[in-house]
Chains A and B, each alone.
Chain A
Amino acid sequence: MTSRFREQLEEALFPPFVALLVALICGDLLIMSYGQPPATVYKLLLEGTWGNAYGFGQVLYKATTLTFTGLAVSLGIRAGLFNVGAESQLAAGGFLAALVGLGLSPSVPTVVGIPLCMIAAALGGGIVGAIPAFLRVKFGAHEVIVTIMLNFVVLAFLNWMIATHLHVPETLHTPDIHTGAIPRLSSIFPAFHGSAANFTILIALLAAFAVWFLLFRTRRGYELRAVGLQPDAAEYGGVNVRGVWFRALTWSGAVAGLGGINYVLGYKHYYEDGFAGGSGFLGIAVALVGRNHPLGVVLAALFFATLSQGGLAIHAFVPKQMVEVLQGVVIIAVAMSVPEVRAALRSARRPAAA
């Protein structure tokens, strides 16, 4: 293994390792405060998630949405931009997919229906992502605050649309979507019976591959990463920095929007107000722990999904709220370790005198 590869590996793996360690220690403390033995609880957590088909299916389901939002955030970060709006982009994507799905006549074949809905989902998220993109490029408005504010605006708007026009009475969701519905895993793998896992997983993996390919194998990806690492050098290299910013943030929104199909087309077959449920914000954590690399994002998504589902599995022993505490602690711990690791590795990497 060349030394450069090893150093990159170190910088990439250390923070997630810290995450795991911190999660374990913190988990121990919380579990013990409930008078329970940690080892038993952890065993139960693993059994309830990776140990049985239903639990594993739930993990896969949750990880799918998180993969999309994690990819979205990491794409933005690679270009030097912070997209905090994945939550509303996810919702907008699901919404538009639902509209298209409802609008399509039942005679449209699934092979056409699903891709159409997917495009709609990406479009929904992309439109929401284009707003901060435009404001950043044109006015220099910082995307962090704009996306945070826009989250509220978009979610309120979607809530209004549902509550006043599109909802099935007594609920806050649209009517069922038939064209464009994505089958559950359980339709092919009966072991997954009852879980929400559906074939959106494949789309998520494809998306991860696509983002990886774009970032590391194309000219545009080369330029995007250059802008994120050293915009002055990118400019020198003939890159249109503002153009890259605009496209990165818009595509980031589109990827997050695409994630909406997991719930809307794959699980419930309708759009429900509030379905995003924090997955957009967790996407930030996923990107962070996954070190903004598509493979890391997939693994980090699995990690957080396991925590989330695991919380339900151990509910009899420790309240599932423990998982939420762990989430917050892990994020802070990893955020703290990243600059330290980078600084330590940098001083260790000083070039030898020529």
Chain B
Amino acid sequence: MSPGLRTPAPQLSGWGRLPVPGREIRSEDLAGVARSRPLTRGLGRSYGDASLPPAGALEVAGSALADRLLAFDPETGVLRAEAGLSLREILRLFLPRGFWPPASPGTAFVTLGGMVAADVHGKSHHRDGTFGRHVRSLRVLLADGRVVDCDRETHPGLFRATLGGMGLTGHILEVELTLQRVPSAWIVEERRRYDGLDALLAALRAAAADWPYTVAWIDTLSSGNALGRGILFAGRWAEAGEAPLFPPPPRRRRRFPVDLPEWCLSPFAVRTFNALLFGTAPARPQRRLLSPEQFFYPLDAIEDWNRMYGRRGFTQYQCVLPESERPGATRRLLELMIELGGASFLSVLKDMGAEGEGMLSFPRPGVTVAVDLPIRPGTAALVARLNRLVADEGGRIYLAKDALSTAADFARLEPRLPAFLAERARWDPHGRLGSAMSDRLFAPAARGSQIS
């Protein structure tokens, strides 16, 4: 560096690009770098501050270099690996051998440890549940330096608190999980558009019976009869006779080159984009053969796509609403979003199956909605309004996406929080572990639990 170019203070941010002072220290020896630090971070795909250091700390450990395969049994599909192994590597190494992870989020740029910490879900949630359901055991570095193995029999409390515990119970060092056997390396996709929310929700439910993978994109800008219009994507693995014998070629990744200027996110631009996308989707079911990458991770084709939301960054609001207990909850959420003018590009809608085992796992039966929100002056207030509605409907928010909720909101949204904090206090009584997220969401509640 030349004297004229001062080295800026190091900054760290989540996928939503809201930075805090901080630095990630990566090493092949994860236990070594994690021992003296309050948090371990994977590939930084959580949107908010889940992977950022708490107040008083500057550094978090990074797991991405601790990515060794420890064992794989081709008979049972059981894989054991270090926590930094990425989903992308798992797919690259094991899809050619006929195996696929039973639950996978919308990006492959996540680590095993990150998938456990957020107890991620995917397009197969209605059938296969969360990632945690397929985890057999975990090795965790505790706050006091001990390394323990936990599963459903040994330290079940630690196991259940660590699934979906956002890395706040200990540093996840190793993960053992069961991969699913698949008949080919290709996906048969069927998609069609639906003109309103009721039709789309009904179609999602109907598709769940026949298809292992389902998801819908909805246009959150249209109101009236077109409210919640969207495109349903359903998928399944191609059978051996339906697909080419060769695996799909690796996709070329393009980089999003610039931070988009603000006008690209104007209501007019977004409305046009959504209308184009909806208008070009087929009105009758249309089938095609896709690579798993195209079907599961469409946005992974564009590196740094988070720059689309410009320099001010963005967040994602994802909640789950108990639609069958409170019919119309999804409609009420969309109506509020339109009223407050918060909606942006294509949003995601999916029906969810069983609740996860983790003490703070996000999924529960109902409908989940995920909406990207560019950061603007009123975004925090918008999130607060949405949180109020979700709490009233008995729903939840997803911590892997959250950046702006307050501790008071979260306490209302999460009746399970005190139990989680009590379990966490058993394993970290001195509060050595933490993140910017736990500072933000747990602070008052945590003090309460220490008194009790």
Say whether A and B bind each other. no
